[in-house]
Amino acid sequence: MKNNMVEYRRKFGYSQEKFAELLGVSRQTIISIEKGKYNPSLPLAMIIAEIFQTNVENVFILEETDYKK
């Protein structure tokens, strides 16, 4: 699972801290998602896409390894 959060965030001029506030999560959560440490929950992902005025699929990108069992 890859994501374009950094690009979108920069495009909108938010620091990690401001963005975290906007979303109502901790800065650590933003860092972890951006660094690919883990995936956001579905509601969080949807709010992120909403803020960036796009849809989930444009911000988060599925990879072959995601859920191939």
CB of 23 to DNA, least distance (A): 8
Measured CA distances, 25 to 10, 15, 36, 37, 64 (Å)? 18, 14, 16, 16, 29
One-letter amino acid of 56 = V
Q: Residue 40 in contact with residue 51, Cβ under 8 Å?
A: no
The residue from 24, 53, 63, 65 that contacts DNA (CB under 7 A) is 24
Q: Is 41 in the site for its own copies (CB under 8 A)?
A: yes
Instruction: Find which of its own copies, DNA, none residue 22 binds, CB within 5 to 8 Å per kind.
Output: none
Query: Of 14, 18, 20, 23, which one interacts with its own copies (CB under 8 A)?
Result: 23
